[in-house]
Structure 1
C-alpha cells in the first residue's frame, strides 16, 4: 500500500529552483558540491514522484539502474549512528573515497571512530583483509594494522561489513526488504513527497516511509528512505524500532566519478592527514 501525503505539483517550483542552482546547505557547510549526473527535469521529477507513490519497488529499481549506469565512484562525507546489539554507539563522521571496480573503500574519521583514525579495503588485495590506522600519535607511529573482516573488534564496529558499503548497496538492501514484504503481503510504504533533508546537505529528496509490521531484525518497525531527486541516489535513511534508533546514515558533499590519484587506495593514503 502506498499513499501520498503532499501534493506533487506544490513542490515542482521548488524542484526547478534546486535543479538549476547550487544547493543551500545549513548542515555542516562545506565547499564540496554534489554534481548530479541525472539532468532531471521537472517532468522527470514528477514521473519519479508518481512512480514512488504508486509502485515504490519499481521506483527503487529505476534508481538503482541509474546508479549502476552512471556511478563509478565518489568522494563524500558519511555521518552515521548505529545500535550494535543493545548499545547505541556514538555518532561518527567520516570522509570516504569509494570506487566500484575494483571495489575499494578508504575511510577517514573526522568524528568518532574509536581506536581507528582511518581504514582501507580493496577487494582481492591482502587476502581481502582490512588495513586500519590506529588513532593517537603514539599508536599511529606503528603504522597500519591488518585485520580480518570477521575479527570481533571489526564486526563490533558497524551493522554492515566493509564489503557491504556503498550508496548502491544501501539501495539494494532497501529494495530487497521492499520485495520481501511485497511477496509476504506486508509492504506498507507511504510516499511523503519531496523536501530538503538537512542531514544530506539540504538536498531535495523523495521521502518514503515504510511501516514494518511484523517487526524485522533488531525489532525494526519503521524505515524512512530519502532519494535525491536530481541523482536518484539514496542519500539518507533512518531506521527505528519503536522510539529507539537502530541506525541512521547520511551521505552529503558527494563528488561523483572523481579522478582518483594512483595511490588513492594504497597504504600510503592511510598516512595522509
Structure 2
C-alpha cells in the first residue's frame, strides 16, 4: 500500500520547517512588514546617527537632522556638530547635490554644486546622498537577504526589548566566515509599533578573518511622519537654509 504512515506527514512537515531556522523566518517576516510599512510613508523628519569605516579607518560619529521625501526623492540634511547643510532633490538643481560646508578650505567657496557620486560629495560616505533614508535602507537589506544571500547558515537571534521608551525587535545575525558574508555580525532594529526598520549596524572582518568593529552604522531616531515637511522644504531657496550662492 502506497499511503503514508500516520506519523510520516508530520515528520515531513517538521523537516520542512527545519529547512529555514525559526530566527531567519522571523527576520524575513520583519523585513516584509518593514517594507510594507515604509511604502506607506511618503515623507518624514528624523535624526540620523551615522558612523562608517572607510579605507580601514573608523570615521567619527555624525548626528544629522534630515527631511526626506520619497517621491520624487529629495533629502535635506543639517549636521548638528557644525551646521553644514546639504540638499538633493530629484529633477531639481540640474540633478546636483547642493551643499554648504562650514569647515576648512571648502567653506571658503560657500555653496557647492556636485554630482551625487562625485569624490567631493562622497567624502566620509559609503553611499551617495541618493541612498539616504528609510526606504533606501530597507530596499538594500531586502535585496541582499531575498535575492543575493541564498545560504541559511547564519546564526540568527531575534529578541524584543525597550529602547528609548519604545519596544524594539532586534535581529542579530552572525556569519561563520568572510567567505559566506562580507560582514561578520549584522544587527537590525525594527520598531515594534510602526514596524519600520529604523537602524542597522554591520561589523566587518579583520585581516585575520576574525570578527572586527563597525563597518557601517545608520540609525534613524525621532522619526516624525505626521508633522511632515512640505515641498518648499526641499528647495535651495528656503528662507531657513543657506544654500543659495551670494555671488
Deviation for aligned residue 1:258: 3.0
Q: Which structure shows the bigger proportion of residues in helix conformation?
A: 1
Question: What is residue 73 of structure 1 aligned with on the other side?
Answer: 43
| 1:143-154 paired onto structure 2 within 5 Å | 143-154=110-121
Q: Distance in 2 between matches of 1:254 and 1:132?
A: 23
Match of 2:156 among 164, 189, 201: 189
Unaligned runs of 5+ in 1: 5-52
Quote the Cα distance in structure 1 between the aligned partners of 2:154 and 2:180: 16
Task: Select 2:229's aligned residue among 256, 260, 266.
Answer: 260
Find the aligned partners of 1:72 and 1:161 in 2 and give their Cα distance.
Answer: 20
- Matched residue pairs, number? 216
Q: Identify which of 29, 32, 43 aligns with 1:61.
A: 32
Contact 2:169 2:190 in 1 (8 A): yes
The answer to whether the Cα contact below 8 Å between 1:76 and 1:252 also exists between their aligned partners in 2 is yes
- Give the CA deviation at 1:154: 1.6
- TM-score, with structure 2 as normaliser: 0.77
1-structure distance, mates of 2:29, 2:179: 22
The alignment yields a C-alpha RMSD, in angstroms, of 2.7
SS of corresponding position for 2:68: strand
- 1:153 positional shift: 1.9
With a CA cutoff of 8 Å and minimum separation of 6, indicate the structure with the bigger relative contact order: 1
1:155/1:161 contact within 8 Å kept: yes
CA contact (8 A) 2:44 2:228 kept: no
Structure label with greater radius of gyration: 2
Instruction: Write the mapping of 1:33-182 to structure 2, written as runs, cut at 5 A.
Output: 54-68=25-39, 70-111=40-81, 117-136=84-103, 143-180=110-147
Unaligned runs of 5+ in 2: 1-19, 205-210
